[in-house]
Structure 1
Amino acid sequence: MAYEDEDLAQLRIPLIALVDATNNFAEENLLKRGEKADVFKGVLTLFDAHINVVKLKYSGHLFNFYEDIKRIRSWHRNVVSFVGFCDEKDERLIVFEHVANGSLDKYLSDPIFLTWSQRLHICFGAALGLSNTLGSLKSFKILLDKDWEAKVLFCIESESKNSDLYCLGVILLEVLYGRNSTIEDVNRYIAEMSEKQYHDEGELLDDVIPPNLRTQMHAESLSIFSEIVYNCLKEQSDQQSISMFDQILKRLEQAIEIQEKHEKVSTFIITLKQN
């Protein structure tokens, strides 16, 4: 193809291999049905690799298709690995690694299964992945691998005009609230945090954070995280930079360090009492 460079040619996967991997895109392998694409799970027998196949529903111009491929093919440990693509017989397919534990939003509501410390590490991984794909994503979601490490997934469903930083802020807010957030949640958070009410011992957040999650949090860890969420949500334009993500990563590391020290001290005290 005129639009395909030499590097992309090495990532081409024959249609017959993807038909075989998904049992001809069988209904039992369907993970998600979308307006612009369907997603199927499968096993690529050539590599014995578990994969997800995004089957686009529009033919589209090949130039646009290859431009999308070029944007998402970079590798980072916190980005879902791009496996390859196919453009045979009017089919447009994009192939990613299969991420074992699926989407983060499935676990938000359980503060025992997904503790505050785990949530902080997941948020750090998500921010790290985004900082390495800056400007290349139209939209994204966060998946969790077998070790519960965050991986950023490129999505084609959304035409969001918001920045990656703002979208990350929404995800962090959901991690904090333990549920999917609404635009009303976001607007209320921005308004109240802009009045600096979060300095009052976390009172702003105590009515929305799940009690079982709130009891795990060190106050300073929560305060830092709240500040990060606010700074992300304020950023709705495309004017974002690596330095902004670097600052977020440093602050998340501080929140993690404070929380882990708190948990070590708590464990030590419990051990002393038991003895």
Structure 2
Amino acid sequence: MMSLPQELDHLRIPFDDIKSATSNFDYQNFLGQGGFGPVYKGRLPSSTRSCEPGTDVAVKRLDVKGGCREHEFLMEIVMLASYKHHNLVSLVGFSDEGNEKVLVYKHEVNGSLDNHLSSTNLSWEQRLRIFLGAARGLEYLHGGVGVGYRVLHRDVKSSNILLDANWEAKISDFGLSKIGPTNQQFTFLVTMACGTFGYVDPQYVNIGILTKESDVYSFGVVLFEVLCGRFAMLGEYEDERRFLSRLVKFHQEKGALQEIMMPNLLDQMDPYSLEVFSDTAFQCLNEDRKQRPTMDLVVKGLDTALRHQLVSYLNFLKNRM
């Protein structure tokens, strides 16, 4: 079992401070139930040294049942303490007193992306900006964390993309992450494939070999979630509608992708913006890993889609003058 280095002691927060911040984990402060335990909103005392006074925080109280949870807890701390980027969630601190294991993050007021998939209040331009921010976060993990290695997230999904007050995307939940060398094609795992059903790379499941392209596949699923306004998997169906990845491929082959897109987005979209976006997203879902784009190319594709959308909107405004 890995242990935390002393260099991270400055991030330790007394458990009594966390109880005070959340009114002893009062249900009125309950934000939601994550995969590792309940999450609460709170405000830490001004004496807490790891954050500025008045900082709103999200407190994840881990449901510790077995060693795997403890490993994920430690991995999350190490990852977020080691790697900083505008599009990664900010770790404020942690507590591991007794049987309590708590992670404390900066609270992102707009919650997670999965809660906004079907929202008609998010324009196509806003959605593209969210995509671009999340893609830049993954691009950093895959190629910007240091010479000779990369971070593979392993659980990219819409619920793990948080949104701040300006709707800027923040990648979260690094408990399943792996660090792999950049001078090898594959990172081999001795365990079964991890991730979330509906998002996980089929090749990763079939052969048990993890690559950065596995994250790319999962991100492609998220792109279509936000385009279509629905989750990656819907349990009430037993046909091609159950898995979004299969559904979009089915409609792509028919040339009818617009049939499953959010109707309110169609009137907003510049046609070339949609074309570039959908081409990029479909490449992410390619069965052949070698044909999937790098996150650098995904960022470029999404940036191109956004620029064309902005030009189209400016032309629309000029024509109204």
The alpha-carbon deviation at position 155 of structure 1 amounts to 6.0
- The aligned amino acid for 1:168 is F
Secondary structure of 1:147's aligned partner: coil
Which of residues 51, 54, 70 is equivalent to 2:57? 51
Secondary structure of 1:51's aligned partner: strand
- The aligned amino acid for 2:41 is K
How do 1:171-250 and structure 2 match up within 5 A? 171-182=222-233, 183-193=242-252, 195=253, 203-234=255-286, 244-250=294-300
How do 1:50-129 and structure 2 match up within 5 A? 50-58=56-64, 60-61=66-67, 65-73=73-81, 74-111=83-120, 113-129=121-137
The alpha-carbon deviation at position 51 of structure 1 amounts to 0.6
- The aligned amino acid for 2:78 is K
Moved more, 55-64 or 251-260: 55-64
User: Normalising by the residue count of structure 2, what TM-score does the alignment of the two structures yield?
Assistant: 0.73
The alpha-carbon deviation at position 235 of structure 1 amounts to 6.1
CA distance in 2, matches of 1:63, 1:268: 56
The alpha-carbon deviation at position 236 of structure 1 amounts to 8.7
Give structure 1 regions of 4+ aligned residues with deviation exceeding 6 angstroms: none
The alpha-carbon deviation at position 127 of structure 1 amounts to 0.6
Specify whether residues 136 and 39 from structure 1 end up closer, same or farther in structure 2 by C-alpha distance, changes over 3 A only: farther
Which of residues 144, 167, 191 is equivalent to 2:163? 144
**8 Å contact kept, 1:18–1:44:** yes
The alpha-carbon deviation at position 108 of structure 1 amounts to 2.5
CA distance in 1, matches of 2:224, 2:294: 18
Counterpart of 1:200?
Answer: none
User: Normalising by the residue count of structure 1, what TM-score does the alignment of the two structures yield?
Assistant: 0.85
Which of 1 and 2 has higher RCO (CA within 8 Å, sep 6+)?
Answer: 1
The alpha-carbon deviation at position 133 of structure 1 amounts to 2.9
Equivalenced residues, count: 261
Counterpart of 2:191?
Answer: none
Secondary structure of 1:154's aligned partner: coil
Q: Which runs of 5 or more residues in structure 2 are unaligned?
A: 47-52, 143-150, 177-193, 202-213, 234-241
The alpha-carbon deviation at position 181 of structure 1 amounts to 3.6
Specify whether residues 123 and 236 from structure 1 end up closer, same or farther in structure 2 by C-alpha distance, changes over 3 A only: farther
Secondary structure of 1:132's aligned partner: helix
Secondary structure of 1:127's aligned partner: helix
Question: Is 1:256 matched with 2:306?
Answer: yes
**8 Å contact kept, 1:101–1:148:** yes
RMSD of equivalent CA atoms: 2.7
